[in-house]
């Protein structure tokens, strides 16, 4: 009986998705030239279609820059619909903040619109290494919402500071150093005092420490980022805010885990004690239940390696 209804169900899913495709993402105004589609501060899911990070927009005199291609072509199309409510200027630049799926999987949509795609060379290497795996995982999670998504590789940025030639607003793509994942970059608008920080800074949720994340380097990179005269910051996750807020959620959190791990080692303890680190001061933040214990273990192992050098 299910076999009889399956074609009809697929048609209904496609019609529903087509209707949703016309619905623009909601945008938050940061300034006259910066807007952001704020993603959920949660794990990616079918329900949020992978929109669990921030997709930012910079309006130039005659063109538009997008920061983060989105998790899939469908999500990128909805962002484009939101942009068209603001302006009829073309999207000509797309910056991938790193090599994570929600930064680059929507690239194919933007490429088809004529935009140029860019990412740091380390992020490009990450995409080349893991891209097919990331795409396959997204397809399994998003099912019909993944339709039309393909890998489109960005051009590589080699410099730590790259001035983008977009008219009417000064835009710099900055690399402060290693942070959350390979090739993390930020987009700085010095005339606005606005930093689209990417995943060097989190707000309203705790950051995740991946196996490849170098926490000591992330802390140093954050210190370098703070030297900018930042008026407002658009974090990789969470609403736009002031830098002191992201410092508490990102820098202070990671530093706390680092120092707590060092104290455990000083007392002759091990990994089992690290899993018991009291993180209750951060328990109000989203993704705490999913990430806190894993983060403690991974930070401890990095500290342990340094401790016994």
- Bridge partner residues of 232 (DSSP): 194
Write the CB contacts of 203 (distance below 8 Å, at least 6 apart in sequence): 233, 235, 237, 238, 239, 241, 245, 246, 249, 250
- Burial of 181: CB neighbours in 10 Å, binned 0-12, 13-18, 19+: buried
Q: Are 118 and 157 in contact (CB under 8 A)?
A: yes
Q: What local confidence, expressed as pLDDT, does residue 20 receive?
A: 54
Whether 18 has a pLDDT exceeding 60, the answer reads: no
Write the CB contacts of 167 (distance below 8 Å, at least 6 apart in sequence): 60, 61, 62, 63
Q: Are 173 and 164 in contact (CB under 8 A)?
A: yes
Q: What is the pLDDT of residues 145-198, one digit of tens each?
A: 999 999 999 999 999 999 999 999 999 999 999 999 999 999 999 999 999 999
* Rounded-to-integer distance, Cα 217 and Cα 230, Å: 21
Whether 11 has a pLDDT exceeding 80, the answer reads: no
Indicate the DSSP class of residue 286. Answer: B
Whether 287 has a pLDDT exceeding 60, the answer reads: yes
- Burial of 113: CB neighbours in 10 Å, binned 0-12, 13-18, 19+: middle
* Rounded-to-integer distance, Cα 218 and Cα 195, Å: 17
Residue 61 neighbours by CB distance under 10 Å: 10
The per-type count for the chain, helices as H runs and strands as E runs, is 10, 12
Q: Helix 215-225 vs helix 253-266: angle between axes, to the nearest 10 degrees? A: 140
Q: What is the mean pLDDT of residues 104-117?
A: 98
Average pLDDT, the chain: 94
Q: What local confidence, expressed as pLDDT, does residue 27 receive?
A: 98
CA Rg value for the chain? 20
Backbone angles phi, psi at 196, to 5 degrees: -85, 95
Q: What local confidence, expressed as pLDDT, does residue 255 receive?
A: 98
Indicate the DSSP class of residue 80. Answer: H
**Residue 245, both tokens:** 């807020």
5 vs 207: which has the higher pLDDT = 207
pTM: 0.93
Q: What is the pLDDT of residues 182-193, one digit of tens each?
A: 999 999 999 999
Q: Which domains does the chain have, with CATH numbers?
A: 22-242 (3.60.15.10)
* Rounded-to-integer distance, Cα 266 and Cα 180, Å: 27
Q: What local confidence, expressed as pLDDT, does residue 1 receive?
A: 46
**Residue 26, both tokens:** 């909601």
Q: What is the pLDDT of residues 87-109, one digit of tens each?
A: 999 999 999 999 999 999 999 99
Q: What local confidence, expressed as pLDDT, does residue 15 receive?
A: 46
Whether 5 has a pLDDT exceeding 60, the answer reads: no
Q: What is the mean pLDDT of residues 133-140?
A: 98
């Amino acid at each position: 009986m299910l076999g009889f209804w399956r074609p009809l169900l697929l048609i209904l899913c496609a019609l529903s998705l087509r209707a949703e495709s016309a619905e623009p993402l909601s945008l938050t105004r940061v300034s006259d030239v910066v807007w952001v589609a704020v993603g959920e501060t949660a794990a990616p899911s079918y329900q949020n279609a992978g929109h669990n990070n921030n997709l930012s927009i910079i309006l130039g005199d005659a063109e538009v820059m997008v920061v983060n291609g989105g998790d899939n072509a469908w999500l990128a199309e909805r962002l484009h619909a939101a942009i068209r409510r603001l302006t009829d200027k073309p999207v000509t630049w797309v910056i991938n903040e790193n090599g994570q799926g929600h930064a680059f999987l929507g690239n194919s949509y933007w490429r088809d619109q004529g935009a140029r795609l860019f990412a740091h060379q380390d992020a490009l290497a990450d995409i080349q290494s893991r891209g097919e795996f990331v795409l396959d995982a997204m397809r399994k999670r998003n099912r019909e919402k993944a339709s039309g998504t393909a890998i489109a590789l960005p051009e590589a940025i080699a410099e730590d500071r790259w001035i983008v030639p977009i008219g009417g607003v000064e835009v710099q793509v900055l690399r402060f150093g290693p942070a959350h994942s390979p090739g993390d970059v930020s987009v700085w608008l010095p005339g606005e005092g606005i930093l689209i920080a990417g995943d060097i800074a989190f707000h309203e949720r705790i950051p995740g420490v991946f196996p490849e994340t170098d926490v000591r380097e992330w802390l140093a990179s954050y210190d370098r980022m703070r030297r900018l005269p930042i008026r407002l910051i658009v974090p990789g996750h969470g609403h736009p805010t002031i830098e002191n807020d992201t410092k508490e959620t990102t820098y202070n959190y990671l530093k706390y885990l680092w120092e707590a791990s060092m104290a455990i080692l000083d007392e002759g303890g091990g990994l089992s004690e690290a899993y018991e680190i009291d993180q209750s001061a951060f328990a109000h933040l989203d993704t705490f239940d999913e990430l806190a214990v894993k983060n403690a273990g991974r930070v401890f192992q990095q500290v342990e390696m340094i401790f016994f050098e």
